[in-house]
Structure 1
């Protein structure tokens, strides 16, 4: 198989056929992408997609099971990172990184944190402490240069006045910026940032965006970042790579990735055909941006909540849904229930003995016949005329719930009782590839089935005994 990544002279990092396995778990599967020189490349995806594992392979914390990681420096030297120790990658290949959790030396001052990052040139100029103890001019000059570089980055992150304060006393956002400045004191050509905007408020995120753009524009440093804050990713990134379960599903400009149905499916946890439905709904509602499909799905869920609990007002739960879309979807959802003026059956009172509970979910209506390929415990209709809301299980969306209902699966305890043959049968008509086991549908169903069987204890009345 020919790699997707070619020998591009503008690429500072080429990731080719990268795979990382932990026993039977495949964290990264045949990943190919490149980070271009002087650009900001974002690596995004749902939790557990393998983003940090990619960083750990690039920076030497993990040794990949397979693949090649080629770092090309400005002087033309190439380094195969998968063959190098982590500290050598920083020193020779000029790759620096930050972590999800801040890892400053909290007991040292802000200035000392930046000086520690420059220990390689300082140790070399001091003859590994001997020349420094003797006060040789080479060490004095190196120490002066280190302080000057630290002062430059303190000014850049607006922390000059706090240079002598312990790093642990800084606010959270300032500690994030200090960690980036410390990484920059190693003079990297590639800066890897693992969720730099995590925990920041809107103002701090804006400051971070400006800092990263300044680093790219003023120093020429290439940036590879992992981020969940899409406002950061879409505003500053030149190139975006999207992972799902260790596999690349999209690669391109922020605009291209934002409008990719596969990306929307990955973040929503639904199948591609569901996304197609959502896109069609968005277009029918007159929404220009395909990402409104996300809001449409939320609105769909909102309408179901409103139908099940008419006394509640859950509209505030989903403020992101466009008002126009919500009105369109609400109107469409209510149309089937409107009865004509000539419908006289609606006025006839039903006898109390013949009233049956109706399922709140239209997909829960009993099918005319169970479709072929059903699991062993399929039912002709939901017990008691009411199906469980299977979409509560992570990984089951409205379309998947409908398919399960069509094949006689209406209740949590049915999924909880599935055997291997049942999983194979379900994956055949759901077009899944290991997702049932990966997202542990059976485990989720067992918990939900157990919860539904628990009856609330009667309330105590009367005074204390």
Structure 2
């Protein structure tokens, strides 16, 4: 396979065929992308997509299993980051980073935290302490320059008045800005920020946006950031790369990415075929970004409605207009006999439950070894309880004679291949462990405890 990334002089970082494996787990799978010089590149995706693993490979915390990471400095020097130690990457390749969890020296003052970041030039000018002890002018000048640089960044982050306060006494948002300023004191050409807006309120996020834009515009530093706050990503990013299960699913401008069906599907937890209808209904409701779509079209919310109203078909459970929140849809359905349908569909009584379709030659009868003409006992299992199966895919499985968890649990390799053909998947059944989930659900008698949503990463 030819790499998607070429020797582009405008790229400060080229990631080519990057893969990272932990035993049998593939965290990053054949990833290719570029970070442009002087631009803000965002790396986004659901929790567990592999974003921080990419950062750890770029900054030397992990050694990639495969692939090449090429950093090109302004002077034309190229560094292969996958071959370098983490401290050498910072010193020679001029790559700095922050972490998801703040890692300041809380017992040192705000000023001292910025001076620590300038340890290398200070030690060099002091002759590794000897010249400093003797008071040589070179060390005095270097110390004065370090303080001046620290003062510059304290002014940028509005913390000059807190210079002598312990860093641990600062508010959370101020600590975030201080950590970015400390990284900038190393004079990086590429600044990697891991969720810099995590835990910030709206005002603090706005201050962060201004700080990052100033860094890009005034210093020329390229920024690569991981972020879940889509308001930050869409407002300041020049380029967005989207990961899901360690694989790139979209790459382009913020405008093109936020309307990409694959991206919305990844954030909603549904498949591409299913998300087409959701996008149409989201547009009818005035939704034009990922975060609003997630809020409006939560499949978990639809499952709750379906459990409360089993007589209603899935297509009648999705609000077409007027409600910005999925929970409002639940309230509306609970108090009315029918829900609004998508534009162009008839209104009135709920659509009757779908009658299972018997497999035919067109549905590849016989390819799935244990397909059934109809559900046992006239009642199919709720296949959407398997993570990765939505209402549309459940319908497709039923149409191909798959109604029960134990059928999926008994699939062989040939059955998986056949199912992926008509589901139009690419390895996702094995990746999401449908068979393992189905075995567990079959053992539990198809009445598992409700799945938890959200929570820690």
The answer on whether the counterparts of 2:79 and 2:93 sit within 8 Å (CA) in structure 1 is: yes
Gaps of 5+ in 1: 339-359, 457-465
1:207 deviates by 1.6
Superposed, 1:418-433 pairs within 5 Å as 418-433=411-426
Q: Which of 388, 391, 398 matches 1:395?
A: 388
Mapped to 2, the partners of 1:214 and 1:405 lie a distance apart of 55
User: What corresponds to 1:55 in structure 2?
Assistant: 55
Cα displacement (A) at 1:336: 5.3
CA distance in 2, matches of 1:199, 1:147: 30
**Stretch moving more, 242-251 or 411-420:** 411-420
Between 11-20 and 286-295, report the one with greater CA deviation: 286-295
Aligned to 1:28: 28
Q: Which residue of 2 aligns with 1:118?
A: 118
**Number of the residue aligned with 1:463:** none
1:217 aligns with 2:225: no
Deviations 1:42-84 (A, max 9, x none): 1112222222222122112222333322222222222222222
Q: Write the deviation string for residues 256-313 of structure 1: whole angstroms up to 9, x where unpaired.
A: 1111122222223333222334345556x485848699469827765664454259x9
- Name the CA shift for 1:405/1:98 in 2 (closer, same or farther; >3 Å): same
Instruction: Label 1:248 to 1:302 Cα distance change in 2 as closer, same or farther (>3 A).
Output: closer
Paired with 1:81 and 1:293, the residues of 2 have a C-alpha distance of 38
Preserved contact between residue 295 and residue 326 of structure 2 (Cα < 8 Å): no
Contact 2:43–2:224 under 8 Å retained in 1 = yes
The residue number in structure 1 matching 2:192 is 192
Gaps of 5+ in 2: 311-316, 333-338, 450-457
Task: Report what 2:358 is aligned to.
Answer: 368
1:329 aligns with 2:358: no
Match of 2:98 in 1: 98
User: For residue 261 of structure 2, what is the aligned residue in structure 1?
Assistant: 261
Deviation at 1:390, TM superposition (A): 1.9
Q: Residue 39 of structure 2 corresponds to which residue in structure 1?
A: 39
C-alpha contact (below 8 Å) 1:375/1:426 kept by paired residues: yes
**Are residues 1:318 and 2:331 paired?**
no
| Structure 1 position 181, deviation (Å) | 0.9
Asked whether the 8 Å contact 2:90–2:96 carries over to 1, the reply is: yes
**Does residue 227 of structure 2 align to residue 234 of structure 1?**
no
Q: Is the 8 A contact 1:387 1:411 kept in 2?
A: yes
1:231-278 deviation per Cα after TM superposition (whole angstroms, max 9, x unaligned): 111010011111222222221110011111222222233332223343
Distance 1:224 1:382, change over 3 A: same
CA distance in 2, matches of 1:236, 1:196: 13
Q: CA deviation at 1:419?
A: 4.6
TM-superposed deviation, 1:19: 2.7
CA distance in structure 2 between the aligned counterparts of 1:398 and 1:293, rounded to whole angstroms:
21
Distance 1:144 1:19 in 2: 44
* Superposed CA offset, 1:361-411 (max 9, x none): x34x33234741464444433344333332232211121111111223333
- Cα pair 1:43 1:241 within 8 Å, conserved: yes
Find the counterpart in structure 2 of residue 444 from structure 1.
437
Name which of structure 1's ranges 266-275 and 126-135 shifts more when overlaid on structure 2: 266-275
Deviation at 1:185, TM superposition (A): 0.7
SS at 2:3's partner residue? coil
For the aligned residues, what is the CA RMSD? 3.4
Superposition TM-score, scaled by structure 1 size = 0.81
Aligned partners of 1:29 and 1:417: how far apart in 2?
A: 28
Is 2:308 the partner of 1:309?
Answer: yes
| Cα contact 1:125–1:139 (8 A) shared by 2 | yes
Work out whether residues 98 and 194 of structure 1, in 8 Å CA contact, stay in contact via their aligned partners in 2.
Answer: yes
Counterpart CA distance in 2 for 1:218 and 1:286 is 40
Post-superposition CA distance 1:207-235 (Å, at most 9, x none): 21111111111211110111111111101
Q: 1:455 to 1:123 in 2, by over 3 A?
A: closer
Residues 317, 184 of structure 1: CA spacing in aligned structure 2 closer, same or farther, 3 A cutoff? same
**Number of matched residues?**
428
Matches of 2:153 and 2:286, distance apart in 1: 45
Quick check: which has more Rg, 1 or 2? Answer: 1
Residue 353 (structure 1) aligns with: none
| Aligned partner of residue 256 in structure 2, secondary structure | helix
Aligned residue in 1 for 2:183 = 183
